[in-house]
Amino acid sequence: MTETPSILFVCLGNICRSPLAEAALRAEAEKAGLDLLVDSAGTGDWHVGSPPDRRAQAVALRHGIDISGYRGRQVTAEDFRRFTHVFALDADNLHNLKRIRPADGTASLQLLMDMVPGREGSGVTDPYFGDEAGFDVTWDDVTRAAKAIVTRLSD
């Protein structure tokens, strides 16, 4: 029996990019009938227990997904044993994840946009300090990555 793929998305605060990535992958996996465990976390602890940014909630809702029940949490060493894949949403978070990854961590670790042909090595831009349009760009990026993940896991 093969292990159910389990995917963790990690950004800085877990209120913008990573919850949107979580929502996008849940939606794409459901469309494809793919059984996945999906979660998100942040490397920082500022927003633990907080709902996603209202602008992130709005963009997800425009795409038919309610993320108002999501709550921010901080990534832990155990996440590297619990999940099969950990995706950082930018290079800074990838660096921090490499630093905290335990020696016995079994999850693969990479940038999320490495999954999208032509976007390898790039990060998902943090929309937090911008306007609502930035959240649309983030949604487009994480949706493209979610589709690529589903395609790869379905092969």
Q: What residues act catalytically?
A: 11, 17, 126
Compute the distance between CA of residue 92 and CA of residue 40 in angstroms, rounded to an integer.
16
Compute the distance between CA of residue 151 and CA of residue 127 in angstroms, rounded to an integer.
27
pLDDT at 1: 38
Per-residue pLDDT of the chain in tens (155 residues, 90 and over written 9) = 357 999 999 999 999 999 999 999 999 999 999 999 999 999 999 999 999 999 999 999 999 999 999 999 999 999 999 999 999 999 999 999 999 999 999 999 999 999 999 999 999 999 999 999 999 999 999 999 999 999 999 98
Q: What are phi and psi of 27, to 5 degrees?
A: -65, -45
Q: Where are the beta strands (DSSP E) in the chain?
A: 6-11, 37-42, 85-88, 108-111
Architecture of domain 6-149: 3-Layer(aba) Sandwich (3.40)
Give 95's DSSP letter: H
List of residues 6+ apart from 63 with CB closer than 8 A: 27, 139, 143
User: What pTM, to 2 d.p., does this model score?
Assistant: 0.97
